[in-house]
Amino acid sequence: MLKHSIFLRIYATLVGMVILVTVLAYFSTQVINYHRAQQYRESLTDGISYVMTQGVERQSTLQQKKDWISDASDLLDLPLHLVDANQIELSSAEQKRIDNQQAVVRYDAQSMVANMYMGLKSDKTHYLLLSVNKIGERQMKALPIFILDYLIYYPGQEQQHLKTIQQHFSYPIEMRSVLDLGLDSEQIGRLRQDQSILLYRDSATMRGTTISIVSPLLNNPSEVLIIGPVPMFNWMPFELAAGITLLSLFLLSIGVYFAIFPLQRKVKQTIVALDQIKSGDLSARLQVDGYDEMASLSSSYNDMANHIERLIEAQRELMRAVSHELRTPVARIRFAMEMLADEDDYEFRQSQVGMIDKDIEALNTLIDEIMTYAKLEQGAPSLDIEHIEIASVLSQVVTETEALKTGKTVTLDMPASDVVAEAERRYLHRVVQNFVGNAIRHCHGKVHVSGGVEKGLAFVCVEDDGEGIAEEDRERIFEAFARLDDSRTRASGGYGLGLSIVSRIAFWFGGKVNVDQSPTLKGARFTMTWPAVRAKVHSKKDKVKNGA
């Protein structure tokens, strides 16, 4: 019966071992990666923590320190403030990091927020706390600003002090000629516009994907500050995969050994008994344990041994006379038993080798799937251009805004329903939504939305009755991560990222975006224009290529 089959027990044991080893490997990987991720976070934050604390301590008065912290928070778009040191309980290891001018990182997996505590040498009663709930392009491009703010105090000695602070960074920081980087024309153009750029490098080596931040130097346009390459966190590096694989194989080997050991022991007993019979000891018997195949073999062997012994006893006296006839059946029985034993051992070994090979192949396949990485999507979005009624987009955004019950009056100068333009609805909606959202935040009470097509150019326009944008800031406001100094941006965090995205959408549409003063409401007026009919030169393929 199957329930008494020794092979079924072996198979079940092997399956159980595979499941157990897989679970152990999974939890081992999680525990190891938890500590690796913590070390990775700390290695990334030590350098910038040192530079930020130095920036705070350079401020002579408490108000200047608060202003610096406020500006840094706006730049990072992350909460940054001072906290009472007595309210924070640090372990001995964390206190040692604070004493070594390193950051203490506490990550909350549920809220996905990492709190960075940074010590100040000049103020032992407070810690600088930065709560990181996102790491995007804005945060990465802010890093060189802090380093350059540190180096600005050492004019002419930037290289020497860059080497001094390098010891606090786990990744390289250096100044190099922009010509040595092999950048394309668009990247060089962005550097000339005082914009930082990100360089992604995907390598098949153990280093994997890395990110470098390149930032222009205001006093030396021929050189740039390079931060990185910073390796992306690898959840399954080669060393960890190899270690988990070897440990899993070791545990499987132990499991296979203990699964096969009972069968091996019984086969060895059978071989010893056969050798005893071969040597003439007909009293050798096997112990019958259980009801499996080996128990049946032992019982059959004992019956056979008893029968042989009886035959030999009955024929002992006639041995001399008929020895030549006894030699033939004894040799035939011995040959048959040896062949039976050989065939049984071979089939078993072959079946086990096949089973082990399948288990190992399944494990290797699982590891290959875990080690497969998703490539980082780069370049401009693929535009799905279609004929869009501008009125429908404007009315949709106005309706969505009114549903928020902001308490502000939003009026719409509705264009005719037959006024259409070529664009992608999703991105056009985002432009209008961004304009209206900014206007709602900064107006006193009125927002006016309009759009249409004039002289072959489509446009959307949003005006408000707020304080407006100073003329000298109207171009800079569309730069990535730009922050104005007036109350309009200090109150809300600035237009930086949202308006820079609008500027890029306008570029992908083949148009432009600008801001001036509203002639009627006297506040800011944001307008995006683009060709109502896209020319052949601005095909979808070309647009995607140019926006990359």
Examine the pLDDT at 542 and tell me if it is beyond 60. no
What integer pLDDT is reported at residue 421 of this predicted model? Answer: 92
The one-letter amino acid at 465: D
Judged by DSSP in three states, 460 sits in strand
DSSP per-residue codes, 389-406: EHHHHHHHHHHHHHHT--
Q: Of 104, 154, 97, 112, whose CA–CA distance to 129 is shortest?
A: 104
Examine the pLDDT at 522 and tell me if it is beyond 50. yes
Residue with tokens 């329903």: 417
Residue 463 near residue 521 (C-beta atoms within 8 A): yes
- Who has greater pLDDT, 233 or 321? 233
What integer pLDDT is reported at residue 447 of this predicted model? Answer: 94
Side by side, which strands form the sheet with 104-108? 80-84, 123-132, 113-120, 104-108
What integer pLDDT is reported at residue 361 of this predicted model? Answer: 52
Non-local (6+) Cβ contacts of 283 within 8 A are 309
Cα→Cα distances 513→259, 404, 502, 504, Å: 73, 26, 8, 9
The tokens for 293 are 């195949």
Query: Which of 12-16, 379-383, 414-418, 518-522 has the lowest average pLDDT?
Result: 379-383
Examine the pLDDT at 526 and tell me if it is beyond 90. yes
The tokens for 353 are 């080798």
Examine the pLDDT at 464 and tell me if it is beyond 60. yes
Q: Which helix (H) or strand (E) holds 457?
A: strand 457-464
Q: How confident is the model at residue 367 (pLDDT cuts 50, 70, 90)?
A: very low
Residues in a beta bridge with 216: 224
Percent of the chain residues topping a pLDDT of 70 = 78
Cα→Cα distances 239→21, 206, 283, Å: 18, 9, 58
Q: How confident is the model at residue 355 (pLDDT cuts 50, 70, 90)?
A: very low
For residue 100, the 8-state DSSP code is T
What integer pLDDT is reported at residue 242 of this predicted model? Answer: 79
What integer pLDDT is reported at residue 366 of this predicted model? Answer: 38
What integer pLDDT is reported at residue 33 of this predicted model? Answer: 78
What integer pLDDT is reported at residue 364 of this predicted model? Answer: 52
- Who has greater pLDDT, 480 or 441? 441
What integer pLDDT is reported at residue 251 of this predicted model? Answer: 82
What integer pLDDT is reported at residue 394 of this predicted model? Answer: 94
User: Average pLDDT in the 203-217 region?
Assistant: 75
- Who has greater pLDDT, 380 or 41? 41
Q: How confident is the model at residue 496 (pLDDT cuts 50, 70, 90)?
A: very low
What integer pLDDT is reported at residue 255 of this predicted model? Answer: 80
Non-local (6+) Cβ contacts of 367 within 8 A are 241, 244, 245
Q: Cα torsion at 148, 186, 545, 382 (round to 10°)?
A: 30
What integer pLDDT is reported at residue 352 of this predicted model? Answer: 42
The tokens for 372 are 């497969």
The one-letter amino acid at 525: R
- Who has greater pLDDT, 216 or 497? 216
- Who has greater pLDDT, 441 or 277? 441
Q: How confident is the model at residue 543 (pLDDT cuts 50, 70, 90)?
A: very low
Q: What is the overall mean pLDDT for the chain?
A: 77
- State residue 244 phi and psi, 5-degree precision: -65, -40
The one-letter amino acid at 479: E
Residue with tokens 């041994």: 305
Cα 186 to Cα 317: distance, rounded to the nearest angstrom: 109
Summarize pLDDT for 388-403 with one digit per residue, the tens.
999 999 999 999 999 8
Non-local (6+) Cβ contacts of 305 within 8 A are 273, 277, 282, 284, 285
Examine the pLDDT at 324 and tell me if it is beyond 80. no
User: Average pLDDT in the 307-331 region?
Assistant: 54
User: Average pLDDT in the 192-197 region?
Assistant: 84
What integer pLDDT is reported at residue 285 of this predicted model? Answer: 80
User: Average pLDDT in the 516-533 region?
Assistant: 92
Summarize pLDDT for 418-440 with one digit per residue, the tens.
889 999 898 899 889 889 988 99
- Who has greater pLDDT, 378 or 504? 504
- Who has greater pLDDT, 314 or 512? 512
Examine the pLDDT at 313 and tell me if it is beyond 80. no
3-state helix/strand/coil string of 222-291: EEEEEEEEEECCCCCCHHHHHHHHHHHHHHHHHHHHHHHHHHHHHHHHHHHHHHHHHCCCCCCCCCCCCC
Residue 292 near residue 5 (C-beta atoms within 8 A): yes
Cα 70 to Cα 73: distance, rounded to the nearest angstrom: 5
* Span between the terminal Cα atoms of the chain, in Å: 68
Cα 313 to Cα 187: distance, rounded to the nearest angstrom: 101
For residue 129, the 8-state DSSP code is E
- Who has greater pLDDT, 437 or 482? 437
For residue 450, the 8-state DSSP code is E
399, burial (CB in 10 Å: exposed 0-12, middle 13-18, buried 19+):
exposed
Summarize pLDDT for 47-104 with one digit per residue, the tens.
888 888 888 888 888 888 888 889 888 888 889 888 888 888 888 888 888 888 888 8
The one-letter amino acid at 362: A
Non-local (6+) Cβ contacts of 452 within 8 A are 390, 415, 419, 458, 459
Summarize pLDDT for 230-245 with one digit per residue, the tens.
887 777 766 777 788 8
What integer pLDDT is reported at residue 465 of this predicted model? Answer: 92
For residue 111, the 8-state DSSP code is T
User: Average pLDDT in the 17-28 region?
Assistant: 84
What integer pLDDT is reported at residue 330 of this predicted model? Answer: 46
Judged by DSSP in three states, 247 sits in helix
Evaluated on CA atoms 355, 361, 365, 370, the torsion sign reads: positive
Summarize pLDDT for 254-297 with one digit per residue, the tens.
888 777 777 777 788 888 888 887 887 777 787 777 777 777 78
Cα→Cα distances 472→192, 441, 516, Å: 19, 21, 11
Q: Of 99, 143, 98, 136, whose CA–CA distance to 116 is shortest?
A: 98
Tally of CB atoms within 10 A around 81: 14
Residue 222 near residue 200 (C-beta atoms within 8 A): no
Cα 491 to Cα 436: distance, rounded to the nearest angstrom: 17
Residues in a beta bridge with 388: 421
The tokens for 300 are 């059959």
Summarize pLDDT for 95-150 with one digit per residue, the tens.
888 888 888 888 888 888 888 898 888 888 888 888 888 888 888 888 888 888 88
pTM (2 d.p.): 0.42
